Chains A and B, each alone.
Chain A
Amino acid sequence: MRLRFLLAGVAALGLAPMAAMADAHLTRGGSGHLNIIYWQAPSTLNPYLSGGTKEVESASLVLESMARFDDTGTMVPWLAAEIPTVENGGVSEDLTSITWTISDGILWSDGTPLTAADFVFTWEYCTHPEGGCAQASYFDGVTSVDAVDEQTVRVNFANPNPFPYTAFVGSESPVLQAAQFADCLGARAPECTDANFGPIGTGPFVVDEFRPNDVIELSANDNFRYPDRPYFATVTFKGGGDAAAAARSVLETGEFDYAWNLQIDPTILAEMESQGLGTVVTAFGTSVERLHMNQFNPDPALGDDRSTEAAGPHPFLTNPVIGQAMSMAIDRALLVEIGYGAGGQPTCNVLPAPPLYASTANDDCLVQDIEGANALLDEAGIVDSDGDGIREYEGTPLRVLYQTSTNAVRQDTQALVKQWWAEIGIDAELRNIDASVFFGGDPASPDTFQKFYADVEMYTNNFAGVDPQAYMANWACDEIPGPNTQWQGSNIQRYCDPEYDALIEEMAQTADLEERGRIARAQNDMLVQSYTIIPLIHRGGVSAHANSLGGVLMSDWDSELWNIMDWYRIPE
């Protein structure tokens, strides 16, 4: 198939007049065929029924939202004419509603106009109690969505919402066509296989064929609002295999133009890149690989009470001096070099981005200081009194059970950290758990990250979009998981500080962006300096594209393919 397009392209180049030749690739369909490989194959094209990154990103070629985030994390109007703010009257003074205006002349790919009713329908679709909508959190606090007129949509909130850019913003909350999904509400959602596999969208491409967990064939949308775009006529979106094979198909064999999420050994990736066929690109969002230090006692002798309030505080990890020493002992730069390469940066913050929210108060941790850590513990009187090489705190030896999910990079990190902690007299027992169990959240399993039947655990978390309010509220006292909440809750390390809760409250009341930045930084510093959480690595997305593919602006704030309409084939 690619050969045919290539030949057609060569023929076109040969026949076209000189003037047209220069820009032939920058017309709709002028760049020919694009091959994308995602080693995890999309299962559906309805992001409301899945929520997985692979589904959201593949659907972003077809479905669009009011506004999106560009590669710098800045919000840009997409279907909307402009970003509503308090200043331009789009956001009400009391912060309880936001009014979006749809740009003129936007058509669905079937030729019918996009109207406010489609947005109202999308809200109904996702908030239907029986639907199991994966993106329901985008509509949290939304009391209603009104169609003011054909082109105007108002989203009403129950409470003042200082950051109202959630519903219909970003790739995870796009608009569905009411006409297509009208019969698919609630429990009937899975019956609409044709609609879920081939949603009608406003985006640059339309679905020609969708094979679940395998491949998607797309072609340019004839009704797309920019007459010259997308530059590619057709797209093959292949899924399956593994990250190394995906990297190989772009960097070594050149069969594909773009490969996603290449978390493989950095030296292997660099070797592949040196073949000269493609380029590795990275984008950093908010993902941070971190250690959580259990503040409750996880002693197995406590049975079902362990890691809950009933177990009482942890015998030593509640002392910030110990946490600080454990943090100082870690060489983050080496962890990056061994496990992450271009896809990681050492960090000392749990909230590393966007720049407005990134604190600089904790940067000391970037340099490993084993001597300093030892001195700190000695000073605090936490010494090895029985000569077994392990320090004791109030009679309890500093032995920790350190768990994480099964993953080669994480096990390397564990081994290194264990060694560094041994150098400061702290013994770590390592444990890894299959990711589907660890992150599975089954309340009956003792091995989930929420149950945290260990002293230290490591994983990555992040938040979608650019606003950290909800994310930083994760560490509120009432978010601590326990049997009373079926082990649901996001305060994994069981941190509780009334001062921190006050900051959460303050954040919810503040609309001014600078002020929000100050509060978020203060929250970050409180968390990090409590040493209940030890940030290790700011992780970025790693992808690769062929050198002949132009226009890629990778973003970790939105779908990586957010600007695919601007991608083009660089003429040879």
Chain B
Amino acid sequence: MESVKDIDVRGLSCPEPVMITTMALKKYKGQALRVIASEAHVSTNVQKLLKKNNIAFELSNESNDYVISFTA
């Protein structure tokens, strides 16, 4: 089974997390990804990007971080 690729955008200022996720969507097309964010507004922005791209995702929390799992 293919491993899940983690995209760590913790602590980055806007709009870097969304830019990096956009890059990851292209680079890892078809792969399982997890975007890890440290702030709620970053998580919201990434979710919005995924919705715009019609990608279904799952949300979870790991310690203090927000994790968004999906298939690019």
A binds B: no
